[in-house]
């Protein structure tokens, strides 16, 4: 192996690798998986979307099969592109995003009052909860990682952030005095400040027998029955913190302090409420800012709250539903903006507090997932672990690691699961084939298809590739991604690994991580730029190859790989020390 080290004016260090490396199986499988997913995405798009970017379905409003489910069909596509997928993926994402907005601005309801002039207004959902608003951000939320300089991205992210920062007089979602988003239902026409009705959730009546209802209901009456208890929407809810993703993207794009300040103001209010509530995040904050203020003082109250349990109308089965986990996004964004790991503490401590209520039943330990008038309930095997993976990754503390359930990727990082890379990639290839077969055999036509019927056929499954190449937990929609490394192709001037380069992160730590990069091309050299974190939040310090260390002391490391060469780099870094940015290296 030989290498050279250069320090240039633009603070980019260069490392040249010439050591031959036979193509590892994981590297070949990575490139094949990315190729297979991209091809399958094109096939999926051609079947279910038209040349305008409209989905070939019957557009409806609703919590079962609404606008959010239409664009949700492309979840993961921007991440595939950002990791090195073909330009066609980004083109289809942009086409579908624009078409989606037009399609659902044109689509109107008859019976649902707030959508009679269009399900979208100002290019955004008129009024819904952030489980569904977040799904509507499945593509847009990641476009900044793909092409931050796109004019439409900046215009929209500024406009939509304003709906939650009290900048739009027609969308007074945020109350700056009490630091709350005033309703679970919110959007471009503002908050719903009345009890929700089943029709608000279910949408207009449908023709019986025409559609396959993906949530188990058999007719429209049962759709109404699904949502009959979804009434308590007044006041703030943790899931509203998902709205901070808009302002986070706006800050990472522009660097304007107003976006950062608003996120921290709002998330800090939730930290205070969690502390005041004995360490458990409350699920209702009244319009006066008090915990439980819109639910008779019950901190666990509200639709999708700790105490939200209902019955499935088709069979009477008891179902427990909440969207508390979406609140984790606010703490994530605040941590990225400040580098302050204490933002992980409220959630980590909450996990422990919940599990302290575990008990033994029939010889095994069970743990609660819900809280109601009679205390904790819905006990299930295995400790409560919602958010454990994310909060472990933020801190990388061993005490946080033990909260995580068994995970093959974590065992691989610990040196206990060496077969994980090949096995996971082979499983992904099998999954892609299965999904394509589902598309091929789908008997529905555009006039019998609902927007959510095809969600399960989406062939983009970027989780394994993301974990292996970027060294971070699987991305979540509408939330900032966390990773150790991000890559850019300096020759093509685009994000992602070059076509012939594969990467495998096999160790991550607070001060050092390790990644192997290999150029699979036996004829041509390759160049790749390595960045610390998805938003340059980690500062790179040094790179070591075969115990020879070079200082980076800059924002990036450029790796020049000779044909057929590769090396394992041990990179030291300071995590969460830089302000996040969407800027590319050039």
Residue 1: pLDDT over 50: no
- Residue 554 — very low, low, confident or very high, per pLDDT cuts 50/70/90? confident
Instruction: Single out the residue of 523, 543, 540 nearest to residue 532, CA to CA.
Output: 540
Task: Name the pLDDT band for 11 (thresholds 50, 70, 90).
Answer: low
Name the β-bridge partners of 531.
Answer: 486, 556
> What total of structural domains would you count in the chain?
1
Cα angle for residues 531, 532, 533 (degrees, 5° grid): 105
pLDDT for residue 327: 98
Q: Kindly report, residue by residue over 298-350, the tens digit of the pLDDT.
A: 999 999 999 999 999 999 999 999 999 999 999 999 999 999 999 999 999 99
Nearest to 80 by CA among 72, 92, 89: 89
Q: What does residue 457 show for φ and ψ, rounded to 5 degrees? A: -95, -10
CA-closest candidate to residue 495, choices 149, 78, 85, 82: 82
In tens, the pLDDT along 258-292 reads: 999 999 999 999 999 999 999 999 999 999 999 99
Over residues 120-173, the pLDDT tens digits come to: 999 999 999 999 999 999 999 999 999 999 999 999 999 999 999 999 999 999
* Sequence-distant (≥ 6) Cβ neighbours of residue 175 within 8 angstroms: 166, 181, 182, 287, 289
pLDDT tens digits for 382-406? 999 999 999 999 999 999 999 999 9
Q: 518: domain range?
A: 5-22+484-574
- Give me the residue label for tokens 């070591």: 544
Tell me whether residue 249 is in a domain: no
pLDDT for residue 553:
78
Residue with tokens 């793909």: 146
Q: Are 555 and 573 in contact (CB under 8 A)?
A: no
In a domain, 549, yes or no: yes
Q: What is the DSSP letter of 473?
A: P
Q: Give the residue with greater pLDDT, 3 vs 61.
A: 61
Whether 165 is in a domain gets the answer no
Residue 434 belongs to a domain: no
- Under 8 Å between Cβ of 573 and 511: yes
Using a 10 angstrom Cβ sphere, with 0-12 exposed, 13-18 middle and 19 or more buried, the burial of residue 204 is middle
Strand order across the 380-381 sheet? 359-361, 364-367, 380-381
The confidence score (pLDDT) of residue 547 equals 81
**The predicted structure's pLDDT at residue 98:** 98
Q: pLDDT tens, 199-253?
A: 999 999 999 999 999 999 999 999 999 999 999 999 999 999 999 999 999 999 9
For 243, phi then psi, to 5°, come to -65, -20
Decide: helix, strand or coil at residue 289: coil
Asked if residue 427 has pLDDT above 60, the reply is yes
Rounded CA-CA distance 492/469 in Å is: 19
- Residue 528's domain is classified under what CATH number? 2.60.40.1180
pLDDT band at 548 (very low <50, low <70, confident <90, very high): confident
Mean per-residue pLDDT over the chain, rounded = 96
What does the pLDDT read at residue 148?
97
Residue 460 predicted with pLDDT over 50: yes
- Assigned domain for 64 exists: no
**Burial class of residue 430 in the structure, from the number of CB atoms within 10 Å of its CB (0-12 exposed, 13-18 middle, 19+ buried):** exposed
Q: Are 24 and 75 in contact (CB under 8 A)?
A: no
Residue 16 in domain: yes
User: Could you report the per-residue pLDDT of 346-376, keeping only the tens digit for each?
Assistant: 999 999 999 999 999 999 999 999 999 999 9
Q: Are 258 and 165 in contact (CB under 8 A)?
A: yes
The Cβ-side half-sphere exposure at 287, using a 13 Å CA radius, reads: 11
Arithmetic mean of pLDDT, 186-192:
98
Residue 5: pLDDT band (50, 70, 90) is: very low
pLDDT above 60: residue 6 = no
Band (3; pLDDT cuts 50, 70, 90): very low
Model confidence at 114, in pLDDT bands (50, 70, 90)? very high
Which tokens belong to 551?
């200082």
In-domain check, residue 465? no
Could you tell me which residues are beta bridge partners of residue 539? 574
Q: CB under 8 Å to 346, separation ≥6 — which residues?
A: 271, 274, 275, 279, 281, 331
Over 80: is that where the pLDDT of 525 sits?
yes
In a domain, 17, yes or no: yes
pLDDT(9) > 70: no
Its pTM stands at: 0.97
Length of the chain: 586
Q: Which two tokens stand for residue 494?
A: 């685009």
Q: Both tokens of residue 297?
A: 């003082």
Residue 2 has pLDDT above 80, yes or no: no
């Amino acid at each position: 192996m030989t290498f050279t080290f250069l320090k240039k004016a633009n603070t980019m260090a260069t490392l040249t690798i010439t050591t031959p490396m036979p193509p590892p199986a994981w590297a070949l499988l990575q490139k094949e998986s990315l190729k297979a997913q991209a091809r399958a995405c094109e096939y999926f798009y051609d079947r279910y979307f038209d040349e305008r970017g409209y989905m070939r379905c019957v557009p409806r409003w609703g919590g079962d099969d609404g606008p959010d489910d239409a664009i949700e069909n492309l979840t993961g596509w921007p991440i595939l592109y950002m990791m090195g997928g073909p330009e066609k993926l980004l083109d289809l994402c942009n086409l579908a995003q624009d078409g989606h907005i037009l399609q659902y601005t044109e689509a109107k309801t008859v019976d649902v009052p707030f959508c009679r002039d269009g399900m979208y207004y100002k290019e955004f959902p008129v009024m819904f909860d952030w489980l569904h608003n977040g799904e509507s951000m499945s593509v847009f939320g990641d476009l900044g990682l793909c092409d931050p300089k796109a004019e439409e991205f900046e215009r929209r992210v500024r406009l939509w952030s304003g709906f939650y920062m009290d900048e739009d007089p027609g969308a007074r979602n945020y109350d700056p005095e009490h630091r709350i988003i005033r309703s679970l239902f919110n959007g471009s026409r503002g908050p719903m400040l009345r009890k929700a009705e089943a029709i608000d959730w279910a949408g207009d009546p449908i023709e019986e027998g025409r559609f396959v209802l993906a949530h188990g209901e058999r007719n429209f009456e049962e759709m109404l029955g699904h949502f009959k208890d979804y009434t308590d929407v007044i006041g703030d809810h943790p899931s509203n913190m998902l709205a901070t993703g808009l302002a986070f993207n706006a800050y990472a794009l522009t660097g304007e302090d107003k976006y950062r300040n608003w996120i921290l103001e709002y998330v800090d209010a939730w930290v205070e409420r969690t502390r005041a509530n004995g360490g458990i995040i409350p699920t209702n904050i009244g319009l006066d800012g008090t915990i439980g203020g819109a639910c008779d003082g019950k901190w666990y109250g509200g639709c999708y709250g700790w105490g939200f349990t209902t019955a499935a109308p088709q069979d009477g089965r008891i179902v427990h539903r909440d969207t508390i986990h979406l609140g984790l996004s606010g703490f994530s964004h605040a941590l990225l903006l400040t580098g302050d790991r204490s933002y992980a503490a409220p959630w980590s401590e909450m996990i422990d507090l919940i599990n302290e209520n575990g008990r033994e039943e029939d010889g095994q330990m069970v743990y609660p997932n819900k809280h109601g008038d009679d205390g904790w309930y819905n006990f299930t095997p295995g400790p409560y672990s919602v958010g454990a993976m994310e909060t472990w990754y933020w801190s990388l503390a061993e005490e946080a690691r033990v909260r995580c359930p068994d995970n093959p990727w974590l065992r691989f990082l610990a040196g206990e699961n060496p077969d994980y890379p090949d096995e996971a990639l082979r499983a992904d290839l099998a999954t892609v084939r299965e999904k394509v077969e589902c598309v091929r055999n789908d008997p529905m036509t555009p006039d019998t298809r609902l927007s959510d019927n095809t969600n399960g056929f989406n062939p983009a499954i970027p989780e394994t590739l993301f974990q292996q190449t970027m060294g971070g937990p699987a991305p979540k929609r509408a939330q900032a991604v966390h990773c150790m490394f991000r890559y850019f192709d300096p020759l093509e001037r685009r994000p992602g690994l070059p076509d012939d380069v594969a990467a495998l992160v096999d160790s991550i730590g607070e001060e050092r991580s390790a990644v192997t990069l290999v150029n699979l091309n036996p004829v041509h050299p390759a160049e790749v730029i390595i960045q610390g974190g998805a938003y340059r939040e980690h500062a790179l310090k040094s790179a070591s190859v075969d115990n020879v260390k070079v200082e980076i002391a800059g924002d990036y490391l450029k790796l020049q790989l000779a044909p057929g060469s590769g090396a394992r780099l041990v990179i030291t870094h300071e995590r969460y020390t830089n302000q996040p940015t969407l800027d590319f290296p050039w």
